[in-house]
Structure 1
Amino acid sequence: MFWTDQKARETLHQIFDAAVESASPQRAALENLPDKPKGRCIVVGAGKASAAMAAALDSAWPDVDVSGVVVTRYGHAVPAGRIRIIEASHPVPDAMSETAAAGVLQAVRGLTPEDLVVALVSGGGSALLVAPAGDMTLADKQNVNRALLASGATITEMNAVRKHLSRIKGGRLGLAARPAKVVTLVISDVPGDDPASIASGPTIADESTIDEVRGIISRYKIVLPDTARAVLDSGGETPKPADLASDVRIIAAPSLALDSAAKTAANAGLQTLVLGDAIEGEARELGTVMAGIALSAKIKGLPLRGPAVLLSGGEGTVSIGCEPAGRGGRNTEFLLGLAVALKGHAGIWAIAGDTDGIDGTEDAAGAVVTPDTLERGRKKGLDARAYLASHDSYSFFDEIGDLVKTGPTLTNVNDIRAILIV
């Protein structure tokens, strides 16, 4: 079969779209609802997919006394009937993030054992649900978030810090909901699908410790406001597994999205190899590593022979440091690193994107790499290595017209990467 550039691009888009569709928050929520309560149902939640899940629950239970508060990212809201939807800022919180946290905590007060709390949790919730601990202000929390995002720390490490600087994260919302039963429906966006890491686990016991947090702060040389250091110095721990138990259900996850992507690739006549759903590391370096695997497959037929696709998920990091940076997220930086390492080798295409439709803070989910990516860039006077060094990958792909723009997808199961070898 002869693969044209158009056919390769269309196939990669179909693979990516299948992964996103498999994580439909409405369908996943409806398939995993608990039994209806004798008393009230209080719906709380945070994350990019949480409003869509709330709308599904409200429609499914017209005969139940349903109310609650859910916060999602700006542009991700949908009407949810009796459940109040708040929009707030991501990845750095704003005043509405604080308003949302206050509303959620108020919603779970004064409940009884016959009441049910359904917590709808998905990626992005850490920034969207903010209740600073101790004497910290919103500005302090914003500064902490910015420092974490620029540090190169993994999502799990960042969330460990956030939990210990919050009055709602790390299981504290779960404690506040007592004595009601708490059922948490989770759409995972973290490597390994640890529910305690997703949105910093507001209803789930936390196994990280203050000592571990101090180690993270030291290892990445993160500068904290004095008020945040005072919270850590006070020694107040998050609820541990012995303190808090709840019914937690992972309803969508990166592994399931990769399964769907693999089925779509197989239907297109491609051999598939899933490299894993929890691949982490510096985004540009991941690009170099994946280029090596793709070249081995293309030249030597190892670890598989084309036409084939290499699939992976997880979340890379972009370490900015103190230098000024351009525009771009972890997916476009991964792809530009991949393109530079491939050096225009024939017969290799790739797509990578965040399943929520937003790569970092940009308006693109990711981008596409083709065998002539670097050449088309050179014709426009673009030096790919220079753009990579200045963390300006978005601008590079924007200039050559290869950004992938889906708009908000209302779900989030982390990044999906597909490399096509023919």
Structure 2
Amino acid sequence: MKTRILITGLAFVSAISFGQKKEIKKAEKAIQSNDYNEALNYLKEAEPMLGSVDNDVKAQYYAARGQALLGSGSSDFTKLKNAAEAFNQALTLDPKIESQLAAPIQNLRAALINSAVQDQTSGQYKTATEKLYTSYLVTKDPSDLYYAASNAVNGKDYESALKYYQMALDAGYTGEKEEFVATNKETGEVESFENENVRNIAVKSGQYIKPEKRVGESKKGEILRNMTLIYIEQGDNEKATALMKTARAENPNDIYLMRADADMSYKMGDISRYNQLMGQIVASDPENPEVYFNLGVGSAEIGQKEEAIKYYQKALELKPEYEAALINIAVLKLSGEDALVEEMNSLGNSRADNQRYDELKQQRNDIYTETLPYLEKALVLQPNSKEVVRTLMNIYGQLADDAKYKEMKAKLESLEK
């Protein structure tokens, strides 16, 4: 009698296993037909008996669940997150399934990153951070951590930023990667290609010349710089100093770390060290416009507007067609407009107020006049830039230059069609 019961029990377990496999196979076929909701229904039927089957069957269940969730909700973060969890569960149960899941996981990553980019563009940094971190959890690509941390910084979630930056560093992430580039014969610009074969085909077409292989710049300096600035923002100068000391010892000639060290010194009020480091940075490559441009960006970030403008102007001396430097100078000069307008709007109608109003108006017009040459040159370099056209239109309007105002207005309308 005992033997018969045991045999019956074994047959029952086998039947359950067979039934589950059948439902999973049905789900996989539905996925192949892009009928993802039907696949989820089949998997729902199999789920109650999941605890009684082998790990390889469970892995197939979770693999199918991940694919069905991904297919049914590429714009639904909850489904994408659940898909990531399902893929991770499948890989934990059966690491051999990795090759089967390679393509679905890459599709999941693409969906998460594209959605995160949209969130970032609209200022939803918290959700962008969550999506990029979810991508990391399933792909283990540390670049996702770097971008998650960057969005956390933008969203002022400094604890998450520090966590993800540190995880990226611990994973050995530097951001350096091989790039296959060639020069566009028509524009003279160096362009990057997806891989070496694509680059070689472009060169053979005759449209590109000077094929090269180069390594992208390391982001380690930027990461350490941001981490030190976060520690300073939190009032933890000790951690900031210790982190920078370690980083500089590892890479004493890293220009980005020198910049980070200089910014940290300025934030801590050590102006003497700040000036010393800035001098070293310039001396490291005095004919490189990028050095001066980056110094301009750093100076602007710590509130040294006039210093930033000087660095941008030096970059323009070395590279007169440097569009980004032209625009950044214009942005800095126009940044003084808000305070003038605020004071103008606060004035009354007394004689003294009217006189002060005229003085402020002239100061504002002087700012516009100083800014115009930079924006006009930027427009020559980038004639279809709507933001440059719009800014020029507004300035011409304030300066009562009706002809140029109408010209820019017509151009903007044309660009926005």
Larger radius of gyration: 2
Q: Higher strand proportion, which one?
A: 1
The two structures have a TM-score, normalised by structure 1, of 0.30
- Tell me: higher relative CO, structure 1 or 2? Use CA pairs within 8 A at least 6 residues apart: 1
The two structures have a TM-score, normalised by structure 2, of 0.30
Q: Higher helix proportion, which one?
A: 2
